[in-house]
């Protein structure tokens, strides 16, 4: 079933047109197509910082948010100020309805210890669902080579979980591409990346990894889980949008 503002055919056409194009071209298309009905969500990872650098050159007034679960590293939170100083882009913190203290009191302690999927749902997915209300598209910084779920993504796709179009400008980049861009353009990044954290999420569920290990092996270490759920989409053949 088509959305009132975009059809499945347009999404398919845009994806075909933009696959293989540069990240900047994808972002320019998204800004041109959706204007201020477009937003970006970032966890302040290296990839997201690259996109903020590009977006600042294209349209620095596009809304950029961070899902502040209450469990982020202090280094992650401080990065917001460095990005604001460098690019004039004020990343907006989107927080759950309950503080960490209230949430843990409700559940008799930290939920991430034994029900991490529920914790991620409550403190990431629910807040993003509220944040996208009134918007038509969101930008993510996922790469195909990160997880099996992300490998199935398209540059432009419908995101049924949030009811908007999802745009993935650096989908075909790899880890080396990200860091080449950062060094070439002097992009601010989280100092934890220099301390053995190639992928950074909430502090209780993120560990440093040994050199050469899978970059996401420090996320939910010891568990099969590799995603918080934001980028896990159930695909159904013939469902259109």
- Catalytic-role residue among 91, 178, 228, 233: 228
Q: Flag whether 119 is marked binding.
A: yes
Q: How far apart are the first and last CA of the chain?
A: 5
Distances (CA, A) of 129 to 78, 99, 134, 202, 203: 25, 18, 10, 19, 23
**Integer Cα distance of 109 and 103 in angstroms:** 8
Q: How far is CA 19 from the centre of its chain?
A: 19
Residue 164 β-bridge partners? 159
Q: Flag whether 49 is marked binding.
A: no
**Integer Cα distance of 102 and 74 in angstroms:** 20
Q: How many C-beta atoms surround the C-beta of residue 213 within 10 A?
A: 12
Q: Flag whether 50 is marked binding.
A: no
**Integer Cα distance of 214 and 166 in angstroms:** 26
Whether 228 is catalytic is yes
Q: Which residues does the annotation place in the binding site?
A: 119-120, 202, 205
- Could you give the residue numbers annotated as active site? 228
Q: Which residues does the annotation place in the binding site for [4Fe-4S] cluster?
A: 119-120, 202, 205
């Amino acid at each position: 079933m088509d959305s009132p503002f975009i059809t499945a055919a347009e999404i398919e056409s845009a994806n075909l047109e933009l696959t293989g194009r540069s990240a900047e071209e994808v972002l320019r298309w998204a800004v041109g197509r959706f204007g201020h009905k477009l937003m970006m969500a970032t966890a302040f990872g290296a990839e997201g910082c690259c996109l903020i650098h590009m977006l600042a050159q294209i349209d620095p007034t596009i809304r950029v948010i961070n899902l502040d679960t209450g469990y982020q590293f202090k280094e992650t939170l401080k990065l917001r100020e460095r990005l604001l100083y460098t690019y004039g882009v004020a990343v907006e913190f989107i927080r759950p309805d309950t503080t960490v203290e209230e949430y843990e009191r409700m559940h008799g302690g930290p939920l991430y210890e034994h029900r991490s999927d529920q914790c991620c749902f409550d403190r990431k997915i629910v807040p993003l669902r509220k944040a996208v209300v009134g918007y038509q598209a969101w930008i993510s910084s996922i790469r195909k080579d990160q997880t099996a779920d992300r490998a199935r993504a398209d540059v432009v796709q419908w995101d049924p979980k949030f009811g908007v179009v999802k745009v993935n400008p650096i989908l075909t980049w790899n880890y080396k591409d990200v860091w080449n861009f950062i060094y070439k353009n002097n992009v601010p990044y989280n100092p934890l990346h220099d301390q053995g954290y190639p992928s950074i999420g909430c502090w209780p569920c993120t560990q440093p990894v040994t050199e050469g290990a899978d970059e996401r092996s420090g996320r939910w270490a010891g568990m099969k889980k590799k995603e918080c759920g934001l980028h896990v989409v159930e695909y159904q053949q013939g469902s259109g949008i």
